[in-house]
Amino acid sequence: MKINRKWWLIALVLCLVFATISPLASYFPDGLEKVAEDNGFLSAAGETPFEFIADYTFPGIENEAVATILAGWLGVLVLFVIAYGLAWLIILKKKGKTNI
């Protein structure tokens, strides 16, 4: 079965579109945060040793929605590249192995 090569470009654009609506996401605490809050252990959460794009907000940008969208776009592209690259590497290693 032949798989059209262009489908994943369309899918990638769709992911970027989803990332663009991310400022509309709910700001309520998630299930775990809520349980931690209700049971008095939320304060146990520690500071992170370093911050790059904490809370999905791109640093240095005043408009919070824009900062969130940029973080989303960056994440989508970074993850596509990492997972694609990793899969490619796994196959490369496999081919190397069978040649030996």
Residues that bind another protein (CB under 8 A): 1-3, 5, 7-8, 11-12, 15-16, 18-19, 21-22, 24-32, 34-36, 38-39, 41, 44-46, 48-49, 51-56, 68, 71-72, 75-84, 86-88, 90-91, 93-94, 97
**Pair of tokens at residue 37:** 């809050």
Least distance in angstroms from the C-beta of 62 to another protein = 19
CA–CA separation, 69 and 18 (whole Å): 10
**Pair of tokens at residue 77:** 């592209």
Angle at 16 between CA 52 and CA 81, to 5 degrees: 65
Of 12 and 61, nearer to another protein (C-beta) is: 12
